[in-house]
Chains A and B, each alone.
Chain A
Amino acid sequence: MVNKILAILEQREGSLKKVSFEAASVASRLGKELNLEVEAVVVGSDVNNLNEISKYGISKVIHLKNSDFSNYTSSGYTEAISNYAKEVNAVCLIVGNTALGNDLAPRLAVKLSSGCIMDCVNLQVESGEVIATRPIYAGKAFVKVKLSSNVKVFTIRPNVFKAEFSEIGNAVIENKEISSPNLKSQVVSFKKSEGKLDVAEANIIVSGGRGMKGPENFNLIESLADSLDAAVGASRAVVDAGWRPHREQVGQTGKTVSPSLYVACGISGAIQHLAGMSTSKYIVAINKDKDAPIFSVADYGIVGDLFEILPVLTEEIKKIRS
């Protein structure tokens, strides 16, 4: 029997998340390089876009099903996936490094007596071994790590690996009903936050710092973010001052992000902040202090008064996008 590599897919409210396609692409690439059979596994009740997974080089999807699996249950998902992984002799699992993946992956690792490397930004096969690269110290440094355990679990940072099309026809979807799932720990409800987009998932982020001078001025940041379909981010200084909620904080005690565009407004660029955002593809800085460290990582900068610049920028973006 050929050993298996599993892409663990994530569904929310019955739809696969984007990171699932990234995980599928990574698993199918590693499967080829390591000569492993590739399968995708999803836990849920009803999942409506499972067919899409076939576009990413996956020919078989296992749906571990139960009516109690529509919401996440750490105990239930862990048991269902780890039992399946054991049953088919899986030697490698690829999981998205989301809130769910961060909870699930280490538990799967314990159940499978395996090591687990989190938040990988690169997975490369060298002499038959998977070498994972991941940020440490919130991105101030990177480490290359390998696992010595028989089974290996890796989580991938969202938005970093490309979901590559490799059409191989329709995937076979196999439903497996899970009887009496373990529901010791269960999500009973979800409280949606006010912000439209989460910084951890956004493709564009507009962030404000102390240069905004007060919470009442963040409407300038919100308008610019709206015009770009971007998430609102914040520096630690303004979160600690209570101007913005912690979920928006970017940096070492907040979120580490890698969007394609990061617009820093009135942010000087403390080392903890730079660590959390300097892997963004493009960085724009608007700050009146020409010596602010943020300019040392910015691709484009305007040294000036953001209260004058931001409204003009928002109007200009609206114009070209309409």
Chain B
Amino acid sequence: MKIAVCVSHVPDTATRIKIGSDRKAIDPTGVTYIINPYDEYAIEEALKTKEKIGGDSIVYVISVGSDANKESIRKALAMGVDEGILLKDDSQRDSFGIAHALSDEIKSLGCEIAFFGKQSVDFDNSIVGQITAELLGYNCVPVVVDFKLDGSKIIAEREIEGGREVVETELPAIITAQKGLNEPRYASLKGIMASKKKTIAEKVAAKSPNYSEIVDMNLPASKQAGRILGTDSSAVAELVKLLREEAKVI
């Protein structure tokens, strides 16, 4: 079976965001980029799926973006993914643009299942997996914390408010991974060495319209530090009084 895992390349979560001079994008100066944290769970699940199915299964890692994305592709290769594909586009695509490119590639590769992180921690839309699935006519279970594949039948648990929904569906399908789905493996030294030698296939990302346009980007108004009410439980009475009478939240 052919398995895809789609990854994005995002600013490290420790980044202090600064807005660029055009107010349409962040200022990339000094920003360290990493593989999107949720994508590591997607890679692990793709590898586990391959190991379970066995035979001549193959896992492809696909990323849409610039040459810089190769770093995240190599990370996936080092973890054990077989082939890397970069769908090149230096422009800013919205979620639809990215999904169009990915669906086109997943289709031409003939992958029956694709794993995504549940969201990229940059724009936080958390919709690329669902859109890709709809474009392909695949089933899709997003925000998955437990995944079972039995023949072509899928039983997946997804996180919702107050619990988990158990969803039954079938291949072909897209699964988006939530933290807790698995424990991503560390790349072995051998894996890292091998990944450096692998060629990453470069293709031009399929054309697609962008539906959304960024009008402005800004930072939240910085909050003023409030009052320190004390250093022990003698401050509790005043705290409760303020919460009741000033904040009116209790």
Contacts and interface: CB of A to CB of B under 8 A. Distances in A.
Interface of A: 72, 74-75, 78, 98-100, 102-103, 105-107, 109-111, 114-119, 131, 135-149, 184-193, 195, 197-198, 200-201, 204, 228, 245-247, 249, 252-254, 256, 260-261, 270-272, 278-279, 281-284, 290, 295-305, 308-309, 312-313, 316-317, 320-321
A197 to B, nearest CB: 8
B213 A146 contact: yes
Interface stretch (B48-56, B66-74, B105-113, B161-169): B161-169
A146 B212 CA distance: 6
A303 B233 CA distance: 10
19 contacts: A74-B167, A102-B142, A106-B95, A107-B130, A111-B134, A115-B94, A116-B127, A119-B124, A140-B219, A142-B217, A144-B216, A145-B214, A185-B140, A190-B166, A200-B161, A201-B161, A300-B243, A302-B235, A316-B236
B32 interface: no
Interface stretch (B78-86, B186-194, B195-203, B223-231): B223-231
Contacts of A305: 232
Contacts of A135: 124
Most A C-beta atoms less than 10 A away, residue of B19, B163, B213, B236: B236
B229 A185 contact: no
Q: Is the interface of A mostly helix, strand, loop or mixed?
A: mixed
Most B C-beta atoms less than 10 A away, residue of A72, A195, A282, A283: A282
Given A136-B122, A145-B214, A246 B179 contact: yes
B149 interface: no
Contact of A301 (B165, B223, B226): B226
Contacts of B122: 136-137
Most A C-beta atoms less than 10 A away, residue of B139, B142, B163: B163
Given A253-B38, A282-B249, A110 B167 contact: no
A279 B220 contact: yes
B240 A320 contact: yes
Nearest to B155: A188
B242 interface: yes
B17 A141 contact: yes
Interface of B: 11, 13-17, 19, 26, 37-38, 94-96, 121-127, 130-131, 133-135, 139-143, 145, 157-170, 178-180, 209-220, 223, 225-233, 235-237, 239-240, 242-244, 247, 249-250
Contact of A303 (B178, B179, B218, B231): B231
Q: Is the interface of B mostly helix, strand, loop or mixed?
A: mixed
B172 to A, nearest CB: 11
Contacts of B26: 137, 141
Contacts, number: 263
A261 B250 contact: yes
Given A145-B213, A146-B215, A301-B228, A192 B163 contact: yes
A108 to B, nearest CB: 9
Given A137-B17, A297-B223, A144 B215 contact: yes
B233 A309 contact: yes
Nearest to A228: B250
B164 A309 contact: no
A142 B157 contact: no
Contacts of A149: 211
A136 B37 CA distance: 16
A313 B213 CA distance: 48
B206 to A, nearest CB: 15
A272 B14 contact: yes
A92 B137 CA distance: 24
- 6 closest A-B pairs by CB: A115-B211, A99-B160, A110-B134, A106-B127, A299-B226, A312-B233
Contact of B164 (A146, A193, A299): A193
Contacts of A299: 226-227, 247
